[in-house]
């Protein structure tokens, strides 16, 4: 198994994690807020484009993401009544609370209008591949904006 780990400690780093996780899928039950530990953790099946020379073949890999120093987690349009519902991650965004404040809000944006907003003291996140890669059934298709 070839594993990869990335860390994010600022908004620019978080953009790299967002790009790595674009179009990743997760089940609702794989998104967990741990209030006593001040942590949010998630498991995704992400596209693995980096380091592959498979003549354009799309690969997926199981990846774990963790945010530390999370004060609160709120969701919008996430169907917790269906733990096996699949969510497709579009982006991870950060809104800084104030210019000199390392804290703010991290927003995970999903297709279909769902989102999770994490109020954080600062950005401290990790993304690690936790499984082997496999061939993806398809590729994401996004309309091209002109």
Report whether pLDDT(54) > 60: no
pLDDT of residue 132: 85
Coil, strand or helix at 19:
helix
- Tens digit of each residue's pLDDT (9 = 90 or more) over 82-141: 999 999 999 999 999 999 999 999 999 999 999 999 999 999 999 999 988 888 876 665
Alpha helices by DSSP H, listed for the chain, are: 11-21
Q: For the chain, what percent of residues have pLDDT higher than 70?
A: 87
Q: DSSP per residue over 65-103, as a string?
A: EEE-SEEEEEEES--TT-TT-EEEEEEEEEEESSTT-S-
pLDDT of residue 26: 97
Residues 6+ apart with CB under 8 A from 125: 7, 8, 13, 14, 17, 65, 66, 67, 68, 106
State if pTM tops 0.85.
yes
What residue segments make up the domains of the chain, in order of their start? 5-135
Residue 13 in contact with residue 123, Cβ under 8 Å? yes
Short-list 83, 80, 73, CA closest to 108: 73
Short-list 85, 105, 102, 103, CA closest to 94: 105
């Amino acid at each position: 198994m070839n594993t990869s780990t990335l860390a994010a400690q600022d908004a620019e780093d978080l953009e790299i994690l967002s790009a790595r996780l674009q179009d990743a899928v997760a089940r609702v039950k794989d998104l967990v807020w741990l209030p006593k530990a001040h942590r949010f953790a998630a498991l995704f099946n992400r596209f693995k484009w980096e380091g592959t020379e498979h003549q354009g073949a799309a690969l997926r890999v199981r990846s774990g993401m963790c945010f530390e120093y999370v004060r609160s987690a709120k969701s919008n349009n996430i169907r917790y009544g269906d733990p096996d519902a699949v969510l497709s991650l579009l982006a991870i965004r950060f809104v800084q609370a104030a210019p000199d404040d390392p804290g703010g809000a991290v927003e995970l944006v999903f297709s279909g209008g769902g989102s999770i907003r994490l109020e954080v003291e600062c950005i401290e996140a990790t993304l690690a591949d936790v499984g082997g890669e496999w061939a993806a059934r398809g590729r994401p298709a996004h309309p091209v904006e002109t």
